[in-house]
């Protein structure tokens, strides 16, 4: 069922329920009015009987009874009736057979009276009132029904129109058309839905652009070493190049670079999967830092670098394997691009309720224009194009930080060197 039909059905149902409630209230009001009318008629009949039987002429002039009434004295003899006598001097059969009600004045029986059966609707005034009410009710019913139907149609179309537009946009998005923006329109709820769809569209458009660029960069990064290895092997096969150990070593480096790129690519794909789950556990900060220092001891010695560790607290919560992978990527970059004979700093501390893991090195700074791009997939700045690496290391670092609910930041100046910070929320501490 469409939204228009559902809204229309709700309005019609509400109208029927409202009509039923009004009918019940009118019926209740009619019964109340009828009871009150009967009480008044009984009071009028009694007052008329008292005034006639007591001979109070002044009171007779102010009392009246519009229905059939017969008044009898204490002996049961007819005194008067307002309907006159029928054939052979008899009263209306209905009136003569009616129950006689005794009349007392000062606790003394002075007579009786009887009244004919009457209904509320037979009274002329009541009949006119009921007819007027019936016409008003029918007119109100028709008018209310018309207004309700028009209101239902208007509001259902007002709701369904932007909903239909969003449905069309969503269908186009499923067909791959995500270039047309969605303009929020309608009620607050529909506006929020439209804004969410627009955010999704922008994200999908960005992902498409990134994916296309990533595919191009990946093809380029794989094509270059593959072409180099192919040329080397073909040259040696044709006898153009000599199969020297240096040439085999160069070919091995190219193959190792491809292997590293494929491994990093596989890791990043796994980290970006929605099914990725962290193995959270307590991590001893000192042990964590010491293991990293031991892992990179040989690389540090090759460049005569010193590793300075600063650990300011005991333990924190996180995925030990992934965090170790992230910090290893940072230390590897710091050693690769650091000045020979310089220093690499690794610090783990808490600031403002956040866990901060910093890796700092001195060396050639990263140009300011490249800093916003260093965490993008396969991005390698001008200073890094001639060095080994997949271009995915910092992307993996950033993804691991986000999986922990944090983020990665980079600062680089000629005066202070380059610092990469993993900032994790207090919940991981």
Residues in the chain: 429
Asked if residue 90 has pLDDT above 50, the reply is: no
Identify the CATH number of the domain defined by range 277-428: 3.30.565.10
Q: Which residue has the higher pLDDT, 210 or 429?
A: 210
Residue 327: pLDDT band (50, 70, 90) is very high
Which stretches within 175-187 are classed as H helix? none
* Mean pLDDT, rounded, of the chain: 80
Fold annotation for 188-268:
Helix Hairpins (1.10.287)
Every domain of the chain with CATH number 3.30.450 lies at: 3-122
Most confident of 87-91, 181-185, 229-233: 229-233
pLDDT, position 95: 61
Asked if residue 187 has pLDDT above 70, the reply is: no
pLDDT, position 290: 93
pLDDT, position 326: 92
* Strand ranges in 17-75 using DSSP code E only, listed in sequence order: 69-73
Q: Are 383 and 359 in contact (CB under 8 A)?
A: no
Kindly report, residue by residue over 353-405, the tens digit of the pLDDT.
889 999 999 888 888 888 888 887 766 654 444 555 567 888 889 999 999 99
Residue 246: pLDDT band (50, 70, 90) is confident
Helix (H/G/I), strand (E/B), else coil: 276: coil
CA-nearest of 172, 207, 206, 154 to 182 is: 172
Every domain of the chain with CATH number 3.30.565.10 lies at: 277-428
Every domain of the chain with CATH number 1.10.287 lies at: 188-268
Kindly report, residue by residue over 249-271, the tens digit of the pLDDT.
888 887 887 887 788 888 887 88
Report d(CA 74, CA 376) in Å as an integer: 116
Q: Are 337 and 381 in contact (CB under 8 A)?
A: no
Q: What does the DSSP 8-state code read for residue 183? A: P
Placement of tokens 């700093």 in the chain: 345
Identify the CATH number of the domain defined by range 3-122: 3.30.450
Helix (H/G/I), strand (E/B), else coil: 380: coil
CA distances from 68 to 32, 114, 367 (A): 23, 8, 113
Kindly report, residue by residue over 115-125, the tens digit of the pLDDT.
877 777 667 77
pLDDT, position 89: 42
């Amino acid at each position: 069922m469409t939204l228009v039909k559902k809204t229309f059905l709700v309005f019609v149902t509400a109208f029927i329920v409202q009509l039923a409630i009004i009918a019940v209230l009118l019926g209740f009001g009619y019964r109340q009015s009828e009871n009150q009318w009967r009480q008044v008629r009984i009071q009028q009949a009694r007052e008329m009987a008292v005034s006639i039987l007591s001979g109070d002429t002044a009171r007779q002039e102010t009392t009246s009874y519009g229905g059939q009434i017969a008044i009898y004295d204490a002996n049961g003899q007819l005194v008067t009736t307002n309907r006159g006598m029928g054939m052979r001097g008899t009263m209306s059969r209905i009136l003569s057979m009616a129950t006689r009600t005794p009349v007392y004045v000062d606790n003394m029986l002075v007579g009786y009276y009887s009244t004919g059966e009457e209904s509320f609707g037979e009274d002329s005034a009541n009949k006119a009132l009921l007819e007027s009410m019936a016409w008003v009710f029918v007119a109100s019913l028709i008018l209310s029904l018309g207004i309700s139907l028009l209101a239902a149609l208007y509001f259902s179309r007002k709701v369904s129109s932007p909903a239909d537009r969003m449905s069309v946009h969503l269908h186009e998005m499923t067909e791959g058309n995500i270039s047309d923006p969605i303009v929020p329109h309608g009620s607050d709820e529909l506006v929020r839905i439209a804004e969410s769809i627009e955010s999704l569209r922008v994200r999908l458009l960005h992902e498409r652009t990134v994916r296309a660029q990533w595919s191009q960069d990946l093809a380029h990064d794989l094509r270059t070493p593959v072409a180099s290895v192919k040329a080397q092997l073909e040259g040696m096969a044709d006898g153009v190049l000599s199969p020297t150990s240096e040439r085999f070593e160069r070919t091995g480096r190219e193959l190792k670079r491809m292997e590293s790129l494929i491994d990093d690519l596989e890791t990043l794909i796994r980290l970006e999967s929605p099914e990725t789950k962290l193995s959270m556990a307590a991590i001893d900060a000192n042990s964590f830092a010491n293991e990293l220092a031991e892992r990179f001891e040989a690389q540090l010695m090759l460049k005569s670098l010193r590793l300075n560790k600063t650990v300011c607290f005991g333990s924190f919560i996180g995925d030990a394997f992934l965090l170790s992978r992230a910090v290893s990527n940072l230390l590897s970059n710091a050693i690769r691009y650091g000045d020979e004979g310089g220093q690499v700093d690794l610090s783990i501390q808490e600031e403002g309720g956040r866990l901060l893991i910093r890796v700092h090195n001195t060396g050639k700074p990263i140009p300011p224009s490249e800093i916003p791009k260093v965490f993008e997939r396969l991005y390698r700045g001008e200073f890094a194009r001639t060095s080994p690496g997949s271009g995915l290391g910092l992307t993996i670092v950033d993804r691991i930080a986000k999986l922990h609910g944090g983020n990665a930041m980079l600062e680089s100046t000629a005066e202070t060197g380059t610092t990469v910070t993993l900032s994790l929320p207090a919940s991981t501490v």
